[in-house]
Amino acid sequence: MPPRPRPGVLAIEPYSPGVAKLPGVSRVIKLSSNEGAFGAPPAAVRAVQAALDRLHRYPDGGAHRLRHAIGERFGLDPERIVCGAGSDDLIFLLCHIYGGPGTELIMTEHGFSIYDIAGRLAGGSVVKTPERRLTADVDAILAAVTPRTRMVFIANPNNPTGSVLPAAETRRLRAGLPEDVLLVLDGAYAEYLDRPDYDPGTALVDAGENTVMTRTFSKIFGLGGLRLGWAYAPEPIVDGLHRARSPFNVSVAAHEGGIAALAEPGWVERSRAHNAAERARLSAALGDIGITVHPSEANFVLADFGTPAEAAQADEALRARGLIVRRVGGYGLPHCLRITIGLADENDLVIAALRERVLQTAHG
Ligand SMILES: *Cc1c(COP(=O)(O)O)cnc(C)c1O
């Protein structure tokens, strides 16, 4: 008999990444994975190129320079930062450290699917709580807590809905959870927000011993292909992550690219301003065509086509023009498409394709 995976592994629904290619289409515009609209920061590209003569050397396993650069940029203690091969790496580690057989992980109905995969891989069960208007419902989460609950995961803003919990709500959640339950706030899109009532997690991490914030270089910093993320956590959790992580989990290229991306002048400000303006423009234009767009604080919008059939047809119309967006049936939203905010001309093409489709439908 061949080797068999541990119980539970085969119950994992594999992650379905955003499509990147369309057969027969030469120029595709990929708006399916929330990669920043501007690509990689030029300084990061140069830094990775400059690192090519050191590829035979192991990276610094302690990520000293990188942690200090992150700490300086975000005003955080570098000793409480742990780097990973994408924030997914850190999410898997947290589930292995705090989850496992006999435990429960709580996430919300339309929460980020990696939590489900990581929680199950660790051997625990995953409980999904209902949302209210596509937003995490703190009361529903608190009501789902049992003696087996070990972790609660919230992406803030959430992917794929784009909705945000204000700081007062994440504080209320933390205050209502038992002290020994780990709260993980995933701030993958944190840099896109600029509002005073939002805490990506830093305040709650600082306030106790039971909250972790995860962040990534894959979205606003445009380095999804390098695989780089980080966690900010209380000391005992940092200690656990260092014990559990693979010793060289961040590559030489990711170190250099990440440090350079942080130093690229005006990058975050320009990206955030572009995103806010284009997100508003795209949302308004789709609204004019009669497509409901849910309010989003991230670099994508969730467009609601009313029925799964309409969403599938809209997706086909977009693909016929080389435009790839994200189907989100796997997130319980088969009537929606998630559209990443691209450059202005890319967003124009999305608007034109959907407008034309509506006109065609209206005419027959
Ligand atoms: C994109 C995304 C991530 C980032 O994953 P990486 O492994 O850092 O590329 C994490 N959480 C959410 C909610 C995301 O949308």
Of the pLDDT bands very low, low, confident and very high (cuts 50, 70, 90), residue 21 is confident
Of the pLDDT bands very low, low, confident and very high (cuts 50, 70, 90), residue 270 is very high
Instruction: Give the per-residue pLDDT at 276.
Output: 98
Ligand 1 pocket mutation pick from 218, 227, 251, 296 by most atoms within 8 angstroms of CB: 218
CA Rg, the chain, in Å? 21
In CATH, the number for domain 42-263 is: 3.40.640.10
Q: Is 212 exposed, middle or buried (0-12, 13-18, 19+ CB in 10 A)?
A: buried
129 pLDDT above the threshold of 90: yes
Instruction: Give the per-residue pLDDT at 363.
Output: 63
- Residue 322 contacts residue 27 (beta carbons within 8 Å): yes
C-alpha separations of 154 from 87, 203, 215, 344 in Å: 13, 15, 12, 30
The label of the residue with tokens 């590209």 reads 45
d(CA 288, ligand 1 centre) in Å = 31
- According to DSSP, the β-strands at 300-304 and 292-293 are antiparallel
Q: Average pLDDT in the 312-316 region?
A: 96
Instruction: Give the per-residue pLDDT at 208.
Output: 97
Q: Average pLDDT in the 267-290 region?
A: 98
Percent of the chain scoring above 70 in pLDDT:
99
C-alpha separations of 307 from 106, 130, 320 in Å: 28, 20, 20
Give residue-wise pLDDT tens across range 132-185: 999 999 999 999 999 999 999 999 999 999 999 999 999 999 999 999 999 999
Taking CA atoms only, the protein residue closest to ligand 1 atom 3 is 188
- Residue 198 contacts residue 7 (beta carbons within 8 Å): no
CA distance 338 to 217: 20
Lowest mean pLDDT among 26-30, 137-141, 254-258, 283-287: 26-30
Taking CA atoms only, the protein residue closest to ligand 1 atom 12 is 188
Q: Which residue ranges have their beta carbon within 6 Å of ligand 1? A: 34, 86-88, 112, 155, 159, 186, 188, 216, 218-219, 224, 229
d(CA 171, ligand 1 centre) in Å = 23
Ligand 1 atom closest to the Cα of residue 216 is: 8
Lowest mean pLDDT among 22-36, 200-214, 245-259, 342-356: 22-36
What mean pLDDT, rounded, does the chain reach? 96
Give residue-wise pLDDT tens across range 36-93: 999 999 999 999 999 999 999 999 999 999 999 999 999 999 999 999 999 999 999 9
Taking CA atoms only, the protein residue closest to ligand 1 atom 11 is 188
Ligand 1 pocket mutation pick from 93, 165, 186, 191 by most atoms within 8 angstroms of CB: 186
9-30+267-362 matches 42-263 in fold: no
288 pLDDT above the threshold of 80: yes
Residue boundaries of the structural domains of the chain = 9-30+267-362, 42-263
Q: Which of 59, 83, 58 is nearest to 70 (CA)?
A: 83
Query: Is 242 in a helix, a strand, or coil?
Result: helix
Residues 6+ apart with CB under 8 A from 56: none
CATH of 9-30+267-362, one of 3.90.1150.10, 3.40.50.2300, 3.30.1120.10, 3.30.70.20: 3.90.1150.10
Q: Average pLDDT in the 308-322 region?
A: 96
d(CA 2, ligand 1 centre) in Å = 34
Instruction: Give the per-residue pLDDT at 364.
Output: 52
- Residue 202 contacts residue 174 (beta carbons within 8 Å): no
Instruction: Give the per-residue pLDDT at 335.
Output: 98
CA distance 207 to 238: 15
Give residue-wise pLDDT tens across range 240-260: 999 999 999 999 999 999 999
